[in-house]
A and B are shown apart, each in its own frame.
Chain A
Amino acid sequence: MRESRLWFWHILSAIVILFLLGVHMGTMHLGAILTSIGIGSRDPVQSAEVFHRSQQLVYMITYILLLGAALFHGLYGLRSMLFELSLSKGMEKAIGSVCALAGIVLFIYGTYVAVRVFQMPQILAVLKGGQP
């Protein structure tokens, strides 16, 4: 029952990732093509653009949602692959715990970064003033 529920979340997180990461990858890696049709940016990793996006509420929420969905999807997938190696029950428990702990730590760190950068309005002002 627990495994089927986790599998359900694995599929659901895949659908969430598909949309959010699709937009993210499009923005970051198809910029040159998208700008030719009038959308997106040619240099999306430029600091002014990065901080402009990071300081919008919708982006901050999106980052945190994507972070959670991708961590769960990726670490659950890794756990499933490792379980196929026919390990002992103790080893399976240890792997499950390490994956869960890693997921929680990375989620807390990523969320902290997203929220802290969102709360730094002075950065935008500095960038608008032309300072590096």
Chain B
Amino acid sequence: MQNRLNNNLGFRGWVSGGRYGLDRYAYALHRLTGLGILAYFIMHIFVTGARLGGPGQWNSRMAFFGRPIFKLGEFLVFLAFAFHAINGIRLVIIELGYMLGKPGLPAYPYSYSTLRQKPLFVVVMLIAAALMIIGGANFYSTMR
């Protein structure tokens, strides 16, 4: 418990990457997108509950949520999902011990795990960006 208190950054620890670089910001963004997706998901459970009232109730609810402001919100959720899912694949790969390289003596030029997994980080961010662009194109075509 004492160690945890010493390491406590409070809410700042959720969003601030400090001097730890991009990985730390990806970690913070992963959590923020996770919170956003959770909030949306809980609302989604109740919204899709309208199916209980039959097609009439479903249509009227969809008419309400078909407004541009909700469409924009839906698109933001899609962006959050794209980042969270693709970055999550990276986290699972690393959690399983892959792409970290073998441990070795600290000899110059220094190599460390976050540096060794950087190619993976770049690739997953590019995939997430591509997914966001495709999703954006889809939203644009449905809004026209």
Contacts and interface: CB of A to CB of B under 8 A. Distances in A.
Interface of A: 11, 14-15, 17-18, 21-22, 25, 29-33, 42, 45, 47-48, 50-51, 54, 67, 70-71, 74-75, 77-78, 81, 84-86, 106, 109-110, 113, 116-117, 120, 123, 126-127, 131-132
Nearest to A102: B42
B8 A86 contact: yes
Given A54-B51, A67-B45, A74-B41, 19 more contacts: A18-B89, A30-B134, A32-B141, A33-B137, A33-B141, A47-B58, A47-B59, A50-B51, A75-B38, A78-B34, A84-B14, A85-B11, A109-B45, A109-B49, A110-B45, A113-B48, A117-B52, A120-B54, A123-B54
Contacts of A75: 38
Contacts, number: 94
Contacts of A67: 45
B109 interface: no
A86 B4 contact: yes
Nearest to B45: A110
A16 B138 CA distance: 25
Given A29-B139, A85-B8, A78 B38 contact: yes
Nearest to A42: B142
10 contacts: A11-B92, A25-B78, A29-B78, A29-B135, A29-B138, A29-B139, A31-B138, A70-B41, A77-B38, A110-B49
B68 interface: no
Contacts of B142: 31-32, 42
Nearest to B7: A86
A25 B52 contact: no
Interface in B37-71: 37-38, 41-42, 45-46, 48-49, 51-52, 54-56, 58-59, 62
Contacts of A50: 51, 58
Nearest to B74: A29
B85 interface: yes
Contacts of B35: 78, 81
Contacts of B49: 109-110, 113
Contacts of B85: 17-18, 21-22
B38 to A, nearest CB: 4
B6 to A, nearest CB: 9
Nearest to A122: B54
